[in-house]
A = this chain, B = another copy of it.
C-alpha cells in the first residue's frame, strides 16, 4: 500500500518563458508525470488494459499555487501525496521543492483530481467506473497532514 511518491524534474529550456522562469503550465505536467511514475512504481501504467478493458484517468480538477519562481536546469522535487481515495476517483496533493535546498522550502503546491474511466476505442467515449481492485488495493490515503512548507522541522532533534 502506497500513499506518497517523490520524483525529481529538471526544468527544461523549452519550459522557460521570456520572463526567464518556468512557464506555469509546465507545473501541471510535472504533477502528471509524477503521478504516472507513481503508477509505474506500483507496477501499472496510467493508461492500461486489464481483462480486455482499457482504462484511463482523465483529470476533472487541477490547481496550483506558485510561491517562488523556478529556473532553467534547476532540479525540482515533486512530492505526491494521496489526499483522497474514492471508489471512482483519486485526489493528489503535490509539494514542490528545490532538490538542492536543505531547508526544503516549498516553491509551489498543487492538486489533481482524476477519475477512473473505461475507454471505448470504437466510440472514443469514456465513462467513469470503479477503480479496478487490482490497482485500488495498492493505493491508500496519506495519513495525517501534508508535510509543512519548510522541511526545517524534520531536522529538529
Contacts and interface: CB of A to CB of B under 8 A. Distances in A.
Interface string A109-146: 00000000001011010100000000000000000000
Contacts of A33: 12-14
A40 interface: yes
Contact of A13 (B20, B46, B122): B46
Given A19-B56, A62-B63, A121-B122, 8 more contacts: A16-B17, A18-B47, A19-B119, A19-B126, A24-B32, A25-B29, A47-B72, A58-B69
Interface of A: 12-14, 16-21, 23-26, 28-29, 32-33, 36, 40, 45-47, 56, 58-67, 69, 71-73, 119, 121-122, 124, 126
